[in-house]
Chain A
Amino acid sequence: NAGVTQTPKFQVLKTGQSMTLQCAQDMNHEYMSWYRQDPGMGLRLIHYSVGAGITDQGEVPNGYNVSRSTTEDFPLRLLSAAPSQTSVYFCASSSRQSIGANVLTFGAGSRLTVL
């Protein structure tokens, strides 16, 4: 089925460890983004990409890196995990629209716990 695929679904890390959350989409969408969702807070944008080779920071980028070498993939790297990064992470994609608003298609999420 077409959509956004995230792996892993669950992950437990120790403080200071690094890891990569994977995201892939097969809809040929130009835009991809990463959000985190925490209790009592709305989804917050971490990083986004408007096309292969182009990335930019969102609202809460500290402690995360991204790259976009292909249209399909947009991995999120945690450099040195901290307990404050315990969260549920969502990858989303959308097509570029010249008019109207972009509808995001979300992945199923990756639940990360940092001890």
Chain B
Amino acid sequence: EDQVTQSPEALRLQEGESSSLNCSYTVSGLRGLFWYRQDPGKGPEFLFTLYSAGEEKEKERLKATLTKKESFLHITAPKPEDSATYLCAVQAGTGFQKLVFGTGTRLLVSP
């Protein structure tokens, strides 16, 4: 059974204090691993897709990396506006690919 586990559940950082969020997964035939950002009262917003081990993608202060068992979302010098819940999801198979989501990491960045 495909499974996604995210840690920590919640993370509190001071502005400028870099850290990483973890997403561990087990899936048969990974087609893609996704990172989404979700603000309170809003729908998830797409950040990155990673396809194979060793791949990295960056966007502003965020960098996502992928290994065969886990993905990390590195946040460098975060700002208060980076506060949100970050969701990880995996997609497997062909045709309509059902995503399996983790429960998310709630990030709070204090000024």
Contact = CB atoms under 8 A, between A and B. Distances in A.
Interface in A29-77: 31, 40-45, 48, 50, 56, 58-59
A59 B2 CA distance: 12
Given A31-B96, A42-B100, A101-B51, A109 B41 contact: yes
Interface stretch (B14-22, B55-63, B72-80, B101-109): B101-109
Given A102-B91, A103-B49, A106-B44, A42 B96 contact: no
B101 A42 contact: yes
Interface size class of A (residues with CB under 8 A): 20 to 34
Contacts of A109: 41-43
Given A90-B44, A101-B31, A104-B46, A45 B97 contact: no
A41 B103 contact: yes
* Chain A interface main SS type: loop
Interface size class of B (residues with CB under 8 A): 20 to 34
A40 B6 CA distance: 11
B43 A108 contact: yes
Interface of A: 4, 31, 40-45, 48, 50, 56, 58-59, 90, 92, 100-109
8 contacts: A42-B101, A42-B102, A44-B101, A48-B98, A101-B34, A101-B91, A102-B91, A104-B99
